[in-house]
Each structure stands twice: as structure tokens, then as C-alpha cells.
Amino acid sequence: MNINSINKTNIINTHTILLVENNEILSVFLYKLKATLSLYNTDIKPKISVMNELKLEEVDFLSSYPNNHEFIIIGFENNYEKIYESVSILAHKNNYNLNTIDHTNIHHDITLPDWETYINNHLGHNYNWIVIGDVHGCFNELITLLTSQYGFIYDPISKKLYDSLESKQYGIIFVGDLVDKSSDEDIENTLRFIHINFNYLGDRLHIIRGNHEEMVWRWITNDASLEKSKQRLYEKEIYYNTTFLLEKNSELKNIFLDLYKSMKIWIKTDSFIVTHAPCENKFLGKLDSISTKKQIKCESRSKNSNKTNDEITPYLMIEANEHHPKHIFGHMGQTNARIFKNKICIDTGCVYGGSLTGYTVHDNIIKYIPSISTKKAKNDYSNNLFNI
């Protein structure tokens, strides 16, 4: 995140430490912040910590996962430079913004640009959530998983999922990477099915953005930051075949774009969080550009073929804690779902001949549907996470 030592701003993102000039200004600012937050119709109550003097250990605790207070407000009367230097170290360590509020900007209106997105990424406890691993266009396996294992009724004409008595309890979360690597027909069927049911099931279906959705989006929107190098063009052909399908089918492209704008970087309750890729705890549940990137894609395995999965993601076992919310992710194909304390990987490489995994969070049950693909696995599935 950006640590802003020059621009003293009234634009405040979540997970920010605010240094406030004195107690009088602190009272005014706190009133205005709460008034701005009250404009949002939500049951999500932000964690706001206020201290009238700097206590570094307390700031470290409040800004560490899983505490992650949304706003930490510290009053100061003097020694601003020294305080700022000390707090900036913690802000960098725990991936927090750092802003200053003083007499020059206290009278400005407060804006919270990411708060609505932040609260919309929180789920209620209305359903027993099924988290489904990387689909990659494995349409038939997806339908089989939902119908045979969770009791949904699939209508091939409308492509809608209807409820049985069993399925009424469930909500669905896709962990991302819905597209690529399968046939055009299977990818199209997958996109149409999920788009129809995203609109039909409403708050019962959510999608996490995977690195494949992001890269396809960059290609089909001619993202200016995407380098059109020879290597990139090769990767497009080998790894992102959905782009060719969407480039020749404008209707399907619009379906993809409609889904893309509704995809979330993460989704959570007080008992679990879902991201596409594994990442360090300090990035979990945050919306800044660095955290977004980390939650979508971890360090590349293809570029680190000499390393094991555990060597690529050493933070997973170091930071795993059975007392923390479950962290459920995909992205890294495994022989079977891998669990270490609260860390749960459910990408089981269906598109490569493995299986498609569903994980129900409430009762901690994993279910598999074997792949019908005849493809030979490209990844080394003997190189599993948590190989201890």
C-alpha cells in the first residue's frame, strides 16, 4: 500500500492508520468518519481503534491478521516526524495505508472509495457455502458435482439450477479460473451456465476472480499495460485460449465481461476467507493494488520448476493457525485437496485429468468428481502442498 507522507488527504481507504494532529481534531475527524460510514446500509460494522498516544505494540496487534482493524486512529500533540517514522515501519510490515489528518484538511469531506466494495465482499450465514475449485471449462464435471453431490436439479434447456430439499441449504462460491484450457464448447457452456445462474440464484452464487479471468480480460479489452511481446502472444495461444473464442463471439464476450465486473478479489465471513491464490496473511481481505495482485496469483511454478510447492509458498505453513479463519484457495493443482491447519487448497486439476472439488465450509466435507478428460496431466501432481 502507499504510505503518504506528503499529500494529506480526506480520501481514506480501508485498512488505514491515521495520524491526527491533536485531540480536538481527532474528535471532529472521528465524528465525520462515523457519519460517513453511517450512510451505507450494511450490517458490517468497521473496527475503529482510537488512541490518544502512540502505543506501537498495540498498533502492531491491531493491524496484524486476523485482527485487521479497518481504521486505526492515533492522536499526536508533537514529535510528528518521529511518530510518523515509527508507524510507517509497522504500516509497511502489515500492509496498511498511512495518512495524516491535521488543521489543513480536517474540514474537508471524507470519502471512502473502497468501502462499498469492502462490505459487499462479506457474506452472511444464510447458507452452507460450497467452495468449488478451479473449473477451467470442465462443464460436465461441474454439473455432475452440483447435482450428484449437493442435490441441485439441472435443466439443460434453461441451463438453470433448481432446488431440491437437499440443495436449499447451499450457496456456491467459485474459487476462480472458470475459463481456459478446455474446448471452446465446454468453455462456452461453462460461461453461459454460470452467467444464467449468477443472475437466477442472486446472493447464493459468488465468483472469485482468477488469474485466467484477469488475463483474458486484459486481452479482449486491449489493456494498455499488457505487453504484446512474442512471449505474451505464445502464452495467449497456449494458456488463454478463451481469448480467441471471445474475440470471434461478441455475445459470449459480453457475457464474460458481465461476469467479470461482478467477480470479487476475495470473499469472507467471520469463519473463512476465499481467494483464488495462496498469499501471505497480510494481504488477505484487502483491496489495494498489491493485495489484489497477491490474492489472484502467487509466484509462478513454471518459472520455479526447481522448487517444490512448499518452497514457492513457504508462508503458508509458517502462518497457518487453526485458531484463525479458514483460508480456502485454488490456483495450485494438487492430487487431492490439501489441508494444513486453516489453509485449504481445493484445486485438484480437473482439466488435467484430476478431479473437480467441492468443499462445504460449515461441515468441513470435501467431495470429488473425477475428470472425464483424456488429457495427460502437465503438472507434477506428486509435488503437493504441505508435504510434511
Torsion, Cα 215 266 174 333, to 10 degrees, reads 70
The whole-number pLDDT of residue 3 equals: 44
Q: Convert the pLDDT of each residue in 11-25 to its tens digit.
A: 999 999 999 999 999
CB-based contacts of 270, cutoff 8 Å, min separation 6: 325
The Cα angle at residue 265 between residues 294 and 345, in degrees rounded to 5: 70
Q: Which CATH number fits domain 121-370: 1.10.3720.10, 3.60.21.10, 1.10.150.120, 3.20.20.10?
A: 3.60.21.10
**Count of helices and strands (H, E) across the chain:** 13, 16
Those residues of the chain that have pLDDT short of 70 are 1-9, 374-382
Asked if residues 220 and 252 have their Cβ atoms less than 8 Å apart, the reply is no
H or E stretch at 316: helix 314-319
Q: CA quadruple 141, 142, 144, 145: dihedral positive or negative?
A: positive
For the chain, what are the domain ranges? 16-115, 121-370
Question: Is residue 239 a contact partner of residue 179, using CB atoms and an 8 Å limit?
Answer: no
CA nearest 179: which of 132, 138, 236, 223?
138
Instruction: Give the cell for residue 278.
Output: 495462496
pLDDT of residue 378: 54
Cell of 142: 461441474
Beta bridge mates, 326 = 272
Q: What per-residue confidence (pLDDT) applies to 263?
A: 98
Q: How far is it, in rounded angstroms, from Cα 205 to Cα 193?
A: 12
Residues 6+ apart with CB under 8 A from 162: 152, 153, 154, 155
- Return the pLDDT at 376: 56
**pLDDT of the residue at 375:** 60
Distance separating alpha carbons of residues 138 and 182, to the nearest angstrom: 7
**Residues 55, 61, 63, 66: what is their CA dihedral angle, to the nearest 10 degrees?**
-170
Note the CATH architecture for domain 16-115: 3-Layer(aba) Sandwich (3.40)
- Can you give the pLDDT at residue 385? 95
16-115 shares its CATH topology with 121-370: no
